[in-house]
Amino acid sequence: MATSTPTRPSATPPPPAADAARAEARRRLRSRLWRLDDKASPYAYIAPFFLVFAAFGLYPLLYTGWIALHRVELTGLDQSTWIGLDNFQRVLGDGEFWDAVANTFVIGVISTVPQLLVALGLAHLLNYRLRASTFWRTVILTPYATSVATAALVFALVFRPDGGLLNYLLHFVGLGDTNWANGHWTSKIAISVIVIWRWTGYNALIYLAAMQAVPADLYEAASIDGASRWQQFRKVTIPSLRPTILFTIVISTIGSMQLFGEPLLLEGGTLGATGGSEHQYETLSIYLYNYGWKLGHLGPAAAVAWSMLALLLLIALIQWLIGRFLRKSAG
Amino acid sequence: MTTTTPTPSVLAAADPAAPGPQTSGRRRFRIGAGEQLRGGPFTYLALAVVGVLSVFPLYWTLVAASHDQQRVLDSPPPFLPGGRLWHNLQAAWEQASLGKALVNTLIVAGCITAATLFFCTLAGYAFAKLRFRGRGVLMTAVIATLTIPPQLSVVPLFMIMSDIGWGGKLPSVIFPTLVSAFGVFFMRQYLIEALPYELIEAAKVDGANNLRVVRSVVLPAARPAMMVLGMLTFVQAWNDFFWPFLALNQSNPTVQVALGQLSASYTPDQSIVMAGALISTLPLIVVFIVFGKQIVGGIMAGAVKG
């Protein structure tokens, strides 16, 4: 690159007087191009993201709203008739939809809360000086490399009522014979276990990274003040991790809104596609899939999608309010 | 003038040997609270328990894939591998046309990874080091898109894809994920530290235009992070289920879709389903064993400032 001097404006050799005007013009053009390059390049570099997002994210999102107001069938994708709010009426007036909302919420809570708590404890352990620390980190992350499909199918076998691994192990402690997928609570627990299994290690690593960024002098000051290990964890570690914890809560919430593969494959076949014989583990995504692709009514499916958007905004608002409240009460 | 040229030694300062976020994280760790406390027996015990729980389901996939269905469903279930592995792998391979599915998945994950690396590095560089109007707002917009679940747009996406003739074809799965918000954010975080302004300035003084700067300064500096982002993206693309499941059909699936279909057949043989699960997971497990350390480091580096 040291040899690329010719393009450098100031390095142009001094021109003869006759060519001075032309050289001056060329110099000006070049510096204008240079400035254009400087001004336009950043936008050119970020454009692909926004183009892809506009085409495959934002436009479909708005289009969903339009479809939600029309009758569109899977069998005739090019035909649509305006029916106003009928789809929304149909969906919101359907008890199954509200069951799906409740199921999604319950599964979300019982998978997110234990997951993040365990991840926090796990990160704390990993933050000690350990032999083979990389080995431990990699091992707890293996579930992350496992697909939803594989995880759900293995756990489906583990949770089988007869001959399932879990019931077999439970009979040693006098439990067992639970029909996990059939029960209202047990099926939700089973799905949560799959979610917790896949994501705890991932979240633990995120917490670990944040813990390692906590300045050491905070701990020194705390121990000089006579704070115990537990007090240090509560008064130094947790407050320092607050933004990270908030981040993981938001990410997990969004993730639990999307649960699809786990319930679909827990029992497979038609039961999976309807979220169980009594829809006991039907999530919103399953409900949407069922309406759109099993029953073939894309209009109501789109109405479900927009209802999910409304729910997400509501949750975001609540989380924001709670965050504000916590910050205020923390002083 | 030659003194301001980014000589190889200057470049090396921002190059693979000295990755930014990871090492700085570890340095803080050395002087951090972890220093005083070594893990005791309880720590190792707890980690061992979590470790076994993490790996066991995968081990049991192998066990179940190596017996016949009768034995898999028996009580007590098998805990050690049996002798039917090869038979089941062959059966799964044929029943779910996993050969084609594997090729499809490789194409999809490969294209997505290559495109994501290219576009995210460029965008990450722009957000990290270039000044332009609206930078802050646009970066916030990028992060905000992370919170939009794909469920919200699949219905029209399905219609659009069928409209433009991509229905059931691989481009319908590739194009929506060509560039990711996470990737842009990840590269930005990395390049803020790993790419000194002096290097860019030096290249510009030498007369390099922006594209040239990208090629000779940004890409070399970004390489370690690109490796990590590439692996994270590949893992994600390989494992993606929801949209491929809707967009692709039986005759042209990715491995995850094929696996879902295999288990949804009328009387699925569980040992064969598990063999299919094994085939679809094995390539990633290999990637993970080889690059596990970098993937771990990448997740932690991407999270630090999240």
In tens, the pLDDT along B202-221 reads 888 888 888 888 999 999 99
Collapsed DSSP state (helix, strand, coil) of residue A215: coil
Q: What is the pLDDT of residue A14?
A: 56
Nearest by CB: B176 against A41, A56, A66: A56
pLDDT tens digit string along B96-110? 889 999 999 999 999
For residue B291, give how far its alpha carbon lies from the nearest alpha carbon of chain A (Å). 10
Amino acid, single-letter form, for residue A288: L
List of residues 6+ apart from A146 with CB closer than 8 A: A198, B57, B58, B239, B281, B284
Separation CA A185–CA A187 (nearest Å):
5
* CB-based burial label for A323 (10 Å; 0-12, 13-18, 19+): middle
Query: In chain A, which stretches have pLDDT less than 50?
Result: 1-8
Q: How is residue A32 written in tokens?
A: 């204008």
Taking CA atoms, what residue in B is nearest to A198? Answer: B54
C-alpha distance from residue B17 to each of A112, B11, B13, B221, B225 (Å)? 38, 11, 8, 10, 12
In degrees and rounded to multiples of 5, residue A208 shows phi and psi of -60, -45
Whether residue B26 and residue A42 make contact (CB cut-off 8 A), yes or no, is no
Residue at token pair 């400087």 = A38
pLDDT tens digit string along B154-184? 999 999 999 999 989 999 999 999 999 999 9
Q: How is residue A122 written in tokens?
A: 């796990």
Q: How is residue A118 written in tokens?
A: 């365990």
Q: What is the pLDDT of residue B63?
A: 93
Q: What is the pLDDT of residue A18?
A: 65
Q: Which residues of B touch A2 (CB under 8 A)?
A: 1-2, 5, 206
Whether residue A143 and residue B158 make contact (CB cut-off 8 A), yes or no, is no
Separation CA A108–CA A106 (nearest Å):
5
Q: What is the ipTM of this complex?
A: 0.86
Amino acid, single-letter form, for residue A256: S
**Residue closest to B228 by CA, chosen among B181, B280, B287:** B287
Taking CA atoms, what residue in A is nearest to B63? Answer: A154
Question: What's the whole-number mean pLDDT along residues B214-242?
Answer: 93
Bridge partner residues of A129 (DSSP): B38
Q: What is the pLDDT of residue B141?
A: 94
Collapsed DSSP state (helix, strand, coil) of residue A12: coil
C-alpha distance from residue A326 to each of A237, A320, A331, B50, B306 (Å)? 17, 10, 9, 32, 20
Whether residue B155 and residue A292 make contact (CB cut-off 8 A), yes or no, is yes
Separation CA B121–CA A193 (nearest Å):
36
Separation CA B229–CA B121 (nearest Å):
10
**Count of CA atoms in the C-beta half-sphere (13 A) of A45:** 31
Rg (CA), chain B: 24
Residues in chain B: 306
For residue A60, give how far its alpha carbon lies from the nearest alpha carbon of chain B (Å). 5
Amino acid, single-letter form, for residue B131: R
Separation CA A248–CA A235 (nearest Å):
20
pLDDT tens digit string along A52-64? 999 999 999 999 9
Q: What is the pLDDT of residue B305?
A: 46
DSSP character string of chain B: -GGGS--HHHHHHTSTTS-HHHHHHHHHHHHSGGGTPBP-HHHHHHHHHHHHHHHHHHHHHHHHHTS-HHHHHSSSPP-S--S-HHHHHHHHHHHTTHHHHHHHHHHHHHHHHHHHHHHHHHHHHHHHH---TTHHHHHHHHHHGGG--GGGGHHHHHHHHHHTT-TTSTHHHHGGGSS-HHHHHHHHHHHHHHS-HHHHHHHHHTT--HHHHIIIIIHHHHHHHHHHHHHHHHHHHHH--HHHHHHS-TTS--HHHHHHHHHHSSS--HHHHHHHHHHHHHHHHHHHHHHHHHHHHHHHHHHHT-
Separation CA A157–CA B274 (nearest Å):
9
Q: Which residues of A touch B150 (CB under 8 A)?
A: 258
Nearest by CB: A41 against B26, B64, B210: B210
Rg (CA), chain A: 28
Separation CA B183–CA A48 (nearest Å):
13
Whether residue B256 and residue A147 make contact (CB cut-off 8 A), yes or no, is yes
| Helices A148-158 and B270-304, packing angle to 10 deg | 130
Separation CA B211–CA A99 (nearest Å):
54
Q: Which residues of B touch A146 (CB under 8 A)?
A: 57-58, 239, 281, 284
List of residues 6+ apart from A288 with CB closer than 8 A: A301, A304, A305, A308, B151, B154
To which H or E segment does residue A71 belong? strand A70-73
Whether residue B299 and residue A202 make contact (CB cut-off 8 A), yes or no, is yes
Categorize the per-residue pLDDT at B11 as very low, low, confident or very high, splitting at 50, 70 and 90. Answer: very low
Whether residue A305 and residue B152 make contact (CB cut-off 8 A), yes or no, is yes
Amino acid, single-letter form, for residue A203: N
Separation CA A120–CA A52 (nearest Å):
36
In this structure, are residues A222 and A230 in contact, taking their beta carbons and an 8 Å threshold? no
Separation CA B271–CA B275 (nearest Å):
6
Query: Could you report how far apart the first and last alpha carbons of chain A are, in Å?
Result: 56
**Residue closest to B252 by CA, chosen among B110, B115, B99:** B99
In this structure, are residues B283 and B98 in contact, taking their beta carbons and an 8 Å threshold? no
pTM given for the model? 0.86
Q: Summarize chain A as % helix, strand, coil (round to 5).
A: 75, 5, 20
Bridge partner residues of A297 (DSSP): A73
Q: What is the pLDDT of residue B207?
A: 80
In this structure, are residues A251 and B65 in contact, taking their beta carbons and an 8 Å threshold? no
Collapsed DSSP state (helix, strand, coil) of residue A15: coil
Q: What is the DSSP letter of A72?
A: E
Residue at token pair 């109007």 = B133
For residue B276, give how far its alpha carbon lies from the nearest alpha carbon of chain A (Å). 9
Higher pLDDT, B8 or A33: A33
Separation CA A81–CA A70 (nearest Å):
5
Whether residue B51 and residue A136 make contact (CB cut-off 8 A), yes or no, is yes
Q: Which of A136-145, B37-46, B113-122 comes out lowest in average pLDDT?
A: B37-46
CB pairs under 8 A between A and B: 353
